[in-house]
Structure 1
């Protein structure tokens, strides 16, 4: 017997910032959508299985998702979806880390998972066979949630873990075997701290950390040690990560708000709009005003 499936629009699932009515929910989606979702952090983890064409803006990445895929989002990382096709079908589930940990005796941290970690790749493209496997697990979650079984959330937690492990199985071995070196720990702390500065919600909210030195001081490490660790792990300097993240935020603010260029400059930590104009043009090849009109 088919479960009573709750079907919501794509926008509903992605626009929601807080997880209401418990630590878990799952939905099937079969709707048309035409509007982008807001670029914000949510207070939950989310796994999405879908068919359709969209662009995922996740931290400083812009990823075209043009074939069946699983995506994994982290509550520390802001993201938004920009529709390309008008049709999106699939499933999503939202849950807290406690929902998983209370059922996982090993207390595996989702923050350590290659699928959810900051700086990781949030998209796992699927073959038709892999899509069918993941779809079956989502359907089982929906059926179980609709049941009266007293331990149904233990069963659902197992299904969520199965999806996570199926996706990990698709990852290259080098990605799954995460190093526990001090360099990785420092880099992860830096990336997490960097993401916590964003998104900027108001022109009056200026970035508190602007330079590699600011981040090093906050992390209580020498700036040279931070730079060495970040470059060793990511191949890029600390300042490059900061610069790229500021540019990504600047583009979003120019495109999606009615703030003045001066307001955007101040909110991103520039003392003078002219400094911001020069910085933006050097990094993108266009002026902020031109980017705002695109």
Structure 2
């Protein structure tokens, strides 16, 4: 969505002239209202920005794709976090949508926002709304849109409370029920999203950057599928298991880091998610028949 590009522009803006926390919060939260008609119908693909959480209020016939499942709705509230792949498309010409997007550290002084059920892997992030409930949530978004324009030193604290109001109000509702995705090959869709989740973690560009998803159960949790279902889908489509695909990608990155950086081997091991150096050395030697040190030594200068 083009509006979210504002966050990209603001990343390089120090906002040194703003008082207090406002200079920071302007880069960590935004809210939008979008109304579309048959001349400018739009769809939504997943956010590729790792930092953004998103709450969407959607009205108009819409289809949500979530892992290997789908659900159609007319009016709903949708919660998405940076690690849960999803997409949606409108099925009719008239749509109304409200969005708020924020980073995890927008809440870091107050609470771990990712621990709320609506943002946890494995939970259903969609809540059907009738007209009455839609009006309630729409009013909260309208308050946000008004609040963010005010010259008020504590407006972002007020906006934080409105985000929590959205979350708590949603938790009182019954989540939507998803159906298997029947319009295309479900296994291929799982493989596509698994690959996206895996690749989002690369390249490793700093010694403070670390892989977060390494084990099959972690990927399955993000995809809201059983690990056996994930393994089966990957095996059918690629001929390889989850562990084999993850190991191959880790090896690819390990060799690149050994060849193109001056990081010590412990730093590389940590960045690739290994808790101890011997584990990384054994993993590398098993897959390359060389230790990381010998592999680096044999590379051309």
Task: Tell me the residue number matched to 1:57.
Answer: 65
Q: Report SS of the residue matched to 1:170.
A: coil
Task: Tell me the residue number matched to 2:196.
Answer: 198
Among residues 48, 73, 77, which one is paired with 2:56 in the alignment?
48
**Cα separation, 1, equivalents of 2:195 and 2:75:** 32
**Cα separation, 2, equivalents of 1:242 and 1:17:** 39
TM-score (norm 1): 0.55
Q: Report SS of the residue matched to 1:240.
A: helix
Gaps in structure 2 of 5+ consecutive residues: 11-26, 176-191, 203-212, 246-301
**Cα separation, 1, equivalents of 2:91 and 2:235:** 25
Among residues 57, 67, 74, which one is paired with 2:81 in the alignment?
74
State how 1:32-181 maps to structure 2 within 5 Å.
Answer: 32=37, 33-39=40-46, 41-42=48-49, 43-64=51-72, 66-102=73-109, 104=110, 107=111, 109-171=112-174
Task: Tell me the residue number matched to 1:274.
Answer: none
**Cα separation, 1, equivalents of 2:234 and 2:44:** 19
Gaps in structure 1 of 5+ consecutive residues: 1-10, 173-193, 206-216, 251-263, 270-294
Task: Tell me the residue number matched to 1:238.
Answer: 227
CA RMSD of aligned residues (A): 3.9
**Cα separation, 2, equivalents of 1:168 and 1:20:** 33
**Cα separation, 2, equivalents of 1:140 and 1:111:** 23
Could you give the per-residue CA deviations for residues 186-236 of structure 1, whole angstroms, max 9, x where no partner exists? Answer: xxxxxxxx977425779xx9xxxxxxxxxxx955xxx9xx79xx89xx8x7
State how 1:175-190 maps to structure 2 within 5 Å.
Answer: none
Task: Tell me the residue number matched to 1:12.
Answer: 2
C-alpha change, 1:57 and 1:155, in structure 2 (3 Å) is same
C-alpha change, 1:196 and 1:41, in structure 2 (3 Å) is farther
* Paired residues of 2:36 and 2:42 also in contact (CA < 8 A): no
TM-score (norm 2): 0.54
Q: Report SS of the residue matched to 2:167.
A: helix
* Paired residues of 1:77 and 1:195 also in contact (CA < 8 A): no
Q: Shift in Å at residue 140 of structure 1?
A: 0.8
Structure ID, larger Rg: 2
Equivalences, count: 194
